[in-house]
A and B are shown apart, each in its own frame.
Chain A
Amino acid sequence: MFKPFANDTDVMNIAGDAINIENGVKRLTISGNLTIARDKAGLANALALQKAIGAIVEALQSDASLPAKLPDEPDAPSGTADNPFI
């Protein structure tokens, strides 16, 4: 069960990894490329996508304190290391 904005670890996969919906507490990401065939498998994929988008809209609409725009978050600082393999 995919609960939008509930955690930073879940990923909803539709049709293998054609569509990836990566959950996040502040931002979730939908990426991919899905061909929907005019068949029952296509319907199942379209419904899965619709259900996921529906849950995202519902989570946002039911948030009483939804801000107009969430501020951008800078990336955490990265580190460096000498290459131990050369």
Chain B
Amino acid sequence: MQRRIKAFAAALLAFACISASASDCPQFSPNGRAPVVVNSKMRASTQEVCYSDFALLHSGITKGPLWSAEHLTASSVDQAKNNTRTNRFFVDKRLPPDEAAQLSDYKRSGYDRGHMSPAGDRASKKGMAESFSLANIVPQDPSNNRRIWSRIEQAVRRLTEESGEAYVVTGPLFSGRQLQTIGESRVFVPTQLYKVVYLPQRQIAFAVVIENTPTNTYTMKTVHELEAMSGLAFPGIPDGLKDKRIGGLRGV
């Protein structure tokens, strides 16, 4: 009997561990498998935040997302082009206030409020409004955000239209010993930004990395390379695609 109780307790514990790591909103990741934080130092004060058509992992340390995941289809991208509305940046009340960036942090910071899952990918008005959550935002160099980053986002939309669908994860990288912060909340300024794109119908996966500076260039990486750089893993992307390298992005 005692053994049975022990076995039951062990099973319960195992279940608890699985549910702690399982995603609350897996529908935006391939095979329902959301990105995983491998670097244990990055796991502190993280919280998954689900929105109607994207999801993200928020860090109370960096005061922003570590990854933001979306599933795009040719028709969702097409609908998003007709989305014209006034949106408003906001602080998600689900986050502990002392772990979240505030609107004042970005004011006169010299940085744009850079979307990770882009506003221009959102097919619904609700989704577009939600993309202005500061949980989906990082301090981004203004000319980077408005030029090359915008072209990269457009290239991903074109690829989605050509390929039928795409799973995209976007986020910041923090490299080097010392980081810059903005505002009273000390929002971390990323040193680079990344995008991981998986096109299931074409069995292609790749990553793009860009410095968070007024740059005009980007670097193509394999998914394995990006996993090593970011401290994240993308279990929904087939392993066999993670070392394949593609040339570049058309039109960027």
Cross-chain contact of B86 among A11, A16, A76 (Cβ < 8 A):
A11
Extra contacts, 15 of them, besides A74-B108, A79-B182 (Cβ < 8 A), are: A11-B88, A12-B86, A13-B86, A16-B121, A20-B119, A32-B146, A45-B84, A73-B108, A75-B108, A76-B108, A76-B110, A83-B174, A83-B178, A86-B41, A86-B175
* CB of A9 within 8 Å of the partner chain: yes
**CB–CB A9/B103 < 8 A:** yes
Q: Which residues of B contact A (CB under 8 A)?
A: 39, 41-42, 44, 61, 80-90, 103, 107-110, 115, 118-122, 128, 132, 146, 150, 153, 174-183, 186, 188-189, 231
Whether the pair B178, A78 counts as a contact (CB closer than 8 A) is no
What are some 14 contacts across the A-B interface (CB < 8 A)? Answer: A9-B103, A11-B86, A12-B86, A13-B84, A13-B128, A32-B150, A44-B82, A76-B109, A78-B109, A80-B178, A80-B179, A83-B179, A85-B39, A85-B174
**Across the interface, which residues of A come within 8 angstroms of B179, CB to CB?**
80-83
Number of residues from A at the complex interface, CB < 8 A = 34
Once the chains bind, are B85 and A13 in contact (CB under 8 Å)? yes
